[in-house]
Structure 1
Amino acid sequence: MTETTLLPSWSQSVREAVLLIDRGGKILDANLGAMKFLGHDLEGLLELNLRDLIQSPEVANELFVDLSQIDTGDFTGVLDVRNSAKQDFPCEFNFHSEPGMEGWLLIARPTIENEDQAERLVLRALQLTSQISSVETKVHELSAELIDKTLQLAEEKNKTLAVLASMGEGLLVVGASGEIAQINQAACGVLDLDAEAIIGTPLGDLAPGSKIAAIGQV
């Protein structure tokens, strides 16, 4: 860099925005990356102050208060930048100054590097939304199937109970483990039992001498 108003030669071969600004923020020079990044040609950028490119005036003021306390070295941060199309987006900043420099060498890069990457992020978000919607649809379908199955089982149970209740003969159903699974009213009358109290009781646990205990001994 031969003059404070000229950028180093390497700045023209990088994709990042590189600007030279004075201590007050006036833009003195900019590379091609800065022109593409900010949407201004060089003449347009040279008419601007860095404050004009920062979305929030309050943040811009705080930035220059911090920079005023640093003579040399580096200062980094993330700021919301506004381009020529009045679009705001987050950007990483690195300010660098060396002894003898009257301003700052500024290197800036967007946190989303280009439109293609942004489009990929949007596409991925749409895909995730579609997947979530598909899962929700499947859950609703399974819930509907479960409700239908529950209603079907309840209907079948009610039909079975109705058949048992209408039978004149006594019917006693014993499960695989020997417990009383079902009993109709006719059987309850014959055996002197309460259906609600006896369901689930193993035959072996019934009181000796009762009518139903005699069945368990058969």
Structure 2
Amino acid sequence: MMRTRPLLLAFAGIAALAAGILLGDRLIGPPPDPLPSIHGTVIAPPQPLPAFQLRDEHDTPFGPERFRGRWTLIYFGYTYCPDVCPTELTTLAELEKRLAAQGRGGDTDYWLITVDPERDTVQRLREYVQFFSKRFHAASGDTANLAALMNPLGVIALRPPGQPDTGYTIDHSSTLTLIDPQGRLHAIFSPPNEVEHLLPELLALQARYAARP
């Protein structure tokens, strides 16, 4: 199984650049204490999420308020993805297990938000994510609402031209988005996402937040 494809790596770079452009004008000087070093970008200060309306794996509508009260890791992908998405969700499942082993997993949620709303029904999403973990969540929505959330986060997805109406693939960025308990964009982890660095980096971000939210 391919870990990533060259085109996806290119999109990851574009996504990081887009996030920097979109968020850079909001960064207000250096923080009063050092930011944890991560494979990605810590958003300082954290930024509120844009307005959007999606539907979860139980077909329940929700907006930004759904991500308040807990830490949230979001991966944007799709269930028909042949390689990268299963690998990323497997990584998140392992991260969940290691946090639980440390008694730290109860305050973190994990989401797959589809970039393929035409094929990813809520039922299919529910069955797909539960293969990786019974605690995983998933969401879909119309194109406009998905774009309203994805664009400010620097998430890019496109269907290359010339593909059939069925059996097509979607090229997309492979970042992980971290939302803090106040429902704010807190960090963006850049690929390759490995448990060995995700675990200590996430714990460092959570510790800093607990010290001064």
What TM-score range do you get, normalising by the shorter chain? under 0.3
**Which has more helix, going by share of residues?**
1
The TM-score, its normalising length taken from structure 1, stands at 0.25
Q: Whose RCO is larger (CA < 8 A, sep 6+)?
A: 2
